[in-house]
Chains A and B, each alone.
Chain A
């Protein structure tokens, strides 16, 4: 069997087995992800020696489903499998005392299988399916603790916002298939002209939903209601990544106009959500806002016409952000909270975890020689060389500055203690070994991943930046921005940094009441309007019945108070009349005949009246 199929089917089969067997969820989960990882690595080995492959599956008439192994898809698949493995190892410890391990691991593996399908998909129908299925699995995972207050709303919100944006993907897919006659992604990338512009902008909408770009960023912070391993997974290599991956894969088709819009959306997002992260008072919500901000940077790179830079940052970010979440999860278990105030000084009590967290934070800020430095550098270089340098470069630098700022602020709170704070006795943690193992693996990746960048560049054979006229300018600019951010975040209180913006930032920069006011309320208003109309219709039908009743003078027992009664009496009357008119036995067929006679008469009379009126 093809390794492409194994990469997807192994986690899927493990998920089903866990559900059916209802035992050994941990073992089956680790087995499933390991098989998937082996398959991805084998594929990586094969494609690096030039062996692309394809798997055709039956789909809709003339539109087969296909899975493809190309350098890009296989690289992403490997990333999913690696991050997935470490997160699952960590989850073994994190979920140790949870009673619903079966449901948890089954859903996590479904999630990973859906993501593997998404990255390996070679046709639009399969990609769209996987795209929606990761929406479903994240709904199930965010809502995992469905009994806790607010969780169900968070899950519903996440699904609704992304699904609304998914309409963009649906329509883009229809446009692409309609204009090329094929559902194969590679073929549709040849689209040009206005279909390409329309499809590009619609794809951007879909990507904005999944990657939580402004103004659709608010659901991601709410999604923190789920267990921490879920956040680690859906913020790094899976759900959120899908948006950026979509744009990276369709980059050859994007027109200059679309690219500019993408760059601006990314730029605005990186600044807006960066500010939100800076003002956030909850560690996990801060990390969530930071995810939007980092994906904003990736969109800047795509907008600058260098999707390769976005891809490098996506991979580096996957390792870094999952490390940060895993660290945050340990802190959360130590103090039973994710509020930064509650976590003050927790780093001193868990120094090893703190070191891992801090290394990942510095990597995200872009400090050499950690991986984030190189990927962010590629983005700044891309914006420097872009035609729209005056728009994209300030955004990219501001995003970098803000990253340093919020990471330093978090580190400072986690490390520094108040004078009067007593030495909290941390409760002993179960499963720390598993959590530590998962975290160590991901932090190591976050540190050294940059060493693999040259190999990735060769593998993908994408040009990174075409003219290298800038020498060390990007590195210097990036480092200055990152260091200033770190300095400000560590030494200056956030009230001074944000000033009057702080309350607004805490509110998620919601415009005009956000999703609730702009989407939910109008939809509900229309719905209630329809319901009112329904009542009017219902009354109308009954009124017509009553009119017919008077017209035919067939009423015997009319309940004038209740209009509903009228219709009942009408039929009763009809039946009575029929029985009287023809003294036949009452029976099925006669009843029908009688009613049909009267009904036909009624129709005739109504048509006559209608004719006279007009």
Chain B
């Protein structure tokens, strides 16, 4: 059996080197390499998917000694929590490459950076060694910084710096926590599997490590009140950057919350469960309300991410507080599925907003009206993605949110107040649809100033929209993988 996980992780890196070696070639060649490499990575992820996960622990583990003296090694592998995220990551990058094939500004650097980001992202989800995880985590940060700073919109420099400082300062506590966990382990190791099966810290040390990790992941997710970087970064980032930022990189926060905070300091997490739950509820409601007040379409979508990620926090907190393993599994199933759904739905929404901005050079909703008549394909795609985002049954978010709320009611009934979020998101999306796509068309937008989607854009969008429906109608094929792991978790 060839080491498919490592191949999938490092294939994009090879692609990046190839692009940099072929500096002199035309932009088309660069984009071609990008699409081909990310396509091959997607294939790799599909092979990983077909190999599946184990009943307990991690599957497809690949391991090479690295720094044996300190117990660090190259270790990668997947379980039901990370495998869906790997597939999501590969898919989102693939469609983003297709969408970005129009980028002419320093296209070689763009493609190379995106491929580096792809390696870092899949690496972070598959790493089973804390040092390795941290390296991938930081590399993704740096790549995204350059992405925003180089290819962003009008105020990109400041947004990029704000993003960088915020998330960079945010990631330092994780390093402290990792050191703490390392020093607590006996014998010393950075093997995450050991930390999970036998949590090294307890008592005050565990609680301090948990707080440190929570800060990091709260900034990354982001959770109110650590979210200020998100709207600025999203608004200024290029569409490709926004898709990856929201679709993949926010998941580092929630994935870390489960993989590190929940699994490595379980007792402390349970003790702090109510506090974490409160943060989740506040984030969900605050994100929804803040989104309702937006007039900039991209900011609106950015704020709904805070709302949706809030549901994930709620789900994980509820899982920690639950005593019944079945309810715990329901909450975690919902949370992990929500990560996938959010990636698909928000990815589609950011692509659509990007396509709209490419044409109109504005994101201000008041500038639009009646567009569904002018750009029916773009318009109906937005309606579909918006209804998915507001949690309509039959579309991707519903099964995830249903499970999260169902578990919440059984464990901490008061927290069900967060369900108000689905009404507020409905209100803000219907408002946006009414303002941008319905009503009378002005003279400003005609088939000349605003053509409908072209083939490239359709190819980028179609896989996401199809999966949004598939995941809504038949979530079983993903849930089975997730459930296999969550039902067997010892705590």
Does chain B have a CB within 8 A of A416? no
Q: Is A178 a contact partner of B409 (Cβ separation < 8 A)?
A: yes
Does chain B have a CB within 8 A of A537? yes
Q: Quick one: which of B291, B293, B372, B410 contacts A528, CB cutoff 8 A? A: B293
Q: Which residues of A538-558 are within 8 A (CB) of B?
A: 538, 540-541, 545
Residue of B nearest to A131 (CB): B393
Q: Is A147 a contact partner of B329 (Cβ separation < 8 A)?
A: no
Q: Is A143 a contact partner of B329 (Cβ separation < 8 A)?
A: no
Q: Is B392 a contact partner of A133 (Cβ separation < 8 A)?
A: yes
Does chain A have a CB within 8 A of B333? yes
Residue of A nearest to B391 (CB): A132
Q: Which residues of A114-146 are within 8 A (CB) of B?
A: 125, 128-130, 132-133, 136, 139, 143, 146
Q: Is A156 a contact partner of B161 (Cβ separation < 8 A)?
A: no
- With A171-B409, A537-B228, A600-B172 known as contacts, the answer to whether A152 contacts B439 (CB < 8 A) is yes
Map CB proximity to B onto A200-224 as digits: 1 under 8 Å, 0 otherwise. 0000000000000000000000000
A524 to B289, CA, bound (A): 8
User: Which chain A positions have C-beta within 8 A of B427?
Assistant: 160, 523
User: Which chain A positions have C-beta within 8 A of B161?
Assistant: 567-568, 571
- With A523-B292, A567-B161, A599-B169 known as contacts, the answer to whether A147 contacts B406 (CB < 8 A) is no
Q: Is A170 a contact partner of B393 (Cβ separation < 8 A)?
A: no
Does chain B have a CB within 8 A of A175? yes
Does chain B have a CB within 8 A of A387? no
Q: Which residues of B257-305 are within 8 A (CB) of A?
A: 286, 289-294
Q: Is A61 a contact partner of B402 (Cβ separation < 8 A)?
A: no
A58 to B142, CA, bound (A): 43
A159, A523, A568 pick with most chain B CB within 10 angstroms: A523
Q: Is B431 a contact partner of A156 (Cβ separation < 8 A)?
A: yes
Q: Is B293 a contact partner of A530 (Cβ separation < 8 A)?
A: yes
Q: Quick one: which of A130, A159, A568 contacts B430, CB cutoff 8 A? A: A159
Q: Quick one: which of A155, A530, A567 contacts B290, CB cutoff 8 A? A: A530
Q: Is A61 a contact partner of B479 (Cβ separation < 8 A)?
A: yes
- With A125-B402, A171-B409, A567-B158 known as contacts, the answer to whether A60 contacts B372 (CB < 8 A) is no
Q: Is B158 a contact partner of A530 (Cβ separation < 8 A)?
A: no
- With A60-B479, A530-B293, A537-B228 known as contacts, the answer to whether A129 contacts B426 (CB < 8 A) is no
Flag the segment in B39-47, B50-58, B350-358, B417-425 that touches A: B417-425
Does chain B have a CB within 8 A of A527? yes
Q: Is A541 a contact partner of B162 (Cβ separation < 8 A)?
A: yes
User: Which chain A positions have C-beta within 8 A of B434?
Assistant: 152-153, 155-156
Report the minimum CB–CB distance from B146 to chain A (whole Å).
9
Q: How many residues of chain A get a CB closer than 8 Å to chain B's CBs?
A: 60
Q: Quick one: which of B172, B372, B392, B422 contacts A146, CB cutoff 8 A? A: B372
B292, B372, B405, B479 pick with most chain A CB within 10 angstroms: B292
Q: Is A167 a contact partner of B423 (Cβ separation < 8 A)?
A: yes
Report the minimum CB–CB distance from B100 to chain A (whole Å).
22
Flag the segment in A90-98, A311-319, A418-426, A588-596 that touches B: A588-596
- With A146-B439, A171-B416, A538-B228 known as contacts, the answer to whether A599 contacts B168 (CB < 8 A) is yes
User: Which chain B positions have C-beta within 8 A of A540?
Assistant: 228
User: Which chain A positions have C-beta within 8 A of B410?
Assistant: 174, 178
Report the minimum CB–CB distance from A202 to chain B (whole Å).
11
A523 to B138, CA, bound (A): 39
Does chain A have a CB within 8 A of B466? no
User: Which chain A positions have C-beta within 8 A of B405?
Assistant: 170, 174
Q: Is A531 a contact partner of B169 (Cβ separation < 8 A)?
A: no
Q: Is B424 a contact partner of A523 (Cβ separation < 8 A)?
A: yes
User: Which chain B positions have C-beta within 8 A of A156?
Assistant: 430-431, 434
Does chain B have a CB within 8 A of A367? no
Map CB proximity to A onto B386-412 as digits: 1 under 8 Å, 0 otherwise. 010000111000110011011001100
Report the minimum CB–CB distance from A602 to chain B (whole Å).
8
Does chain A have a CB within 8 A of B199? no
A545 to B161, CA, bound (A): 11
User: Which chain A positions have C-beta within 8 A of B476?
Assistant: 58-60
A155, A170, A537 pick with most chain B CB within 10 angstroms: A170
B329, B405, B427 pick with most chain A CB within 10 angstroms: B427
Does chain A have a CB within 8 A of B108? no
Q: Is B169 a contact partner of A527 (Cβ separation < 8 A)?
A: no
- With A146-B372, A147-B373, A592-B138 known as contacts, the answer to whether A568 contacts B157 (CB < 8 A) is yes
Q: Is A60 a contact partner of B292 (Cβ separation < 8 A)?
A: no
Report the minimum CB–CB distance from B259 to chain A (whole Å).
21
User: Which chain B positions have C-beta within 8 A of A523?
Assistant: 289, 292, 424, 427
Map CB proximity to B onto A562-578 as digits: 1 under 8 Å, 0 otherwise. 00100110010000000
A537 to B166, CA, bound (A): 13
User: Which chain B positions have C-beta within 8 A of A527?
Assistant: 289-293
Does chain B have a CB within 8 A of A526? yes
Report the minimum CB–CB distance from A186 to chain B (whole Å).
19
Does chain A have a CB within 8 A of B89? no
Residue of B nearest to A135 (CB): B392
**Could you tell me the dominant secondary structure of chain A's interface residues?**
helix
A466 to B161, CA, bound (A): 76
Q: Quick one: which of A147, A174, A526 contacts B440, CB cutoff 8 A? A: A147
Does chain A have a CB within 8 A of B328? no
A422 to B162, CA, bound (A): 74
Report the minimum CB–CB distance from A135 to chain B (whole Å).
8
- With A132-B392, A568-B161 known as contacts, the answer to whether A147 contacts B168 (CB < 8 A) is no
User: Which chain B positions have C-beta within 8 A of A167?
Assistant: 419-420, 422-423
User: Which chain B positions have C-beta within 8 A of A174?
Assistant: 405-406, 409-410, 416
- With A60-B475, A146-B372, A592-B142 known as contacts, the answer to whether A133 contacts B393 (CB < 8 A) is yes
User: Which chain B positions have C-beta within 8 A of A501?
Assistant: none
A533 to B227, CA, bound (A): 12
Residue of B nearest to A591 (CB): B142
Residue of B nearest to A183 (CB): B406
Does chain B have a CB within 8 A of A62? yes
Q: Is B392 a contact partner of A595 (Cβ separation < 8 A)?
A: no
A314 to B166, CA, bound (A): 60
Q: Quick one: which of B228, B286, B329, B373 contacts A61, CB cutoff 8 A? A: B329
Q: Is B409 a contact partner of A530 (Cβ separation < 8 A)?
A: no
Q: Quick one: which of A128, A149, A175 contacts B393, CB cutoff 8 A? A: A128
Q: Is A534 a contact partner of B231 (Cβ separation < 8 A)?
A: yes
Q: Is A61 a contact partner of B483 (Cβ separation < 8 A)?
A: yes
User: Which chain B positions have C-beta within 8 A of A571?
Assistant: 161, 164-165
Does chain A have a CB within 8 A of B330? yes
User: Which chain B positions have C-beta within 8 A of A159?
Assistant: 426, 430
Q: Is A60 a contact partner of B423 (Cβ separation < 8 A)?
A: no
Map CB proximity to B onto A587-614 as digits: 1 under 8 Å, 0 otherwise. 0100010011001101100000000000
A46 to B171, CA, bound (A): 65
Q: Quick one: which of B162, B286, B387, B403 contacts A60, CB cutoff 8 A? A: B403
A171 to B417, CA, bound (A): 10
Report the minimum CB–CB distance from B447 to chain A (whole Å).
16
Residue of A nearest to B484 (CB): A61
A21 to B122, CA, bound (A): 40
Residue of A nearest to B437 (CB): A146
Q: Is B406 a contact partner of A152 (Cβ separation < 8 A)?
A: no
User: Which chain B positions have C-beta within 8 A of A530?
Assistant: 286, 289-290, 292-293
Residue of A nearest to B409 (CB): A174
User: Which chain B positions have C-beta within 8 A of A139?
Assistant: 430
User: Which chain A positions have C-beta within 8 A of B165?
Assistant: 545, 567, 571, 595, 599
- A-B contacts, 11 of them at CB < 8 A, read A59-B476, A61-B483, A129-B393, A146-B370, A156-B431, A174-B409, A530-B293, A534-B231, A537-B225, A567-B162, A588-B142
Name A residues whose Cβ lies closer than 8 Å to a Cβ of B: 58-62, 125, 128-130, 132-133, 136, 139, 143, 146-147, 149, 151-153, 155-156, 159-160, 163-164, 167, 170-171, 174-175, 177-178, 523-524, 526-531, 533-534, 537-538, 540-541, 545, 564, 567-568, 571, 588, 592, 595-596, 599-600, 602-603
3 tightest CB-CB pairs across the interface, nearest first?
A: A129-B393, A527-B292, A531-B293
7 additional contacts, CB 8 Å, given A61-B487, A541-B229, A568-B161?
Answer: A60-B333, A128-B393, A152-B439, A171-B419, A174-B406, A541-B228, A568-B157
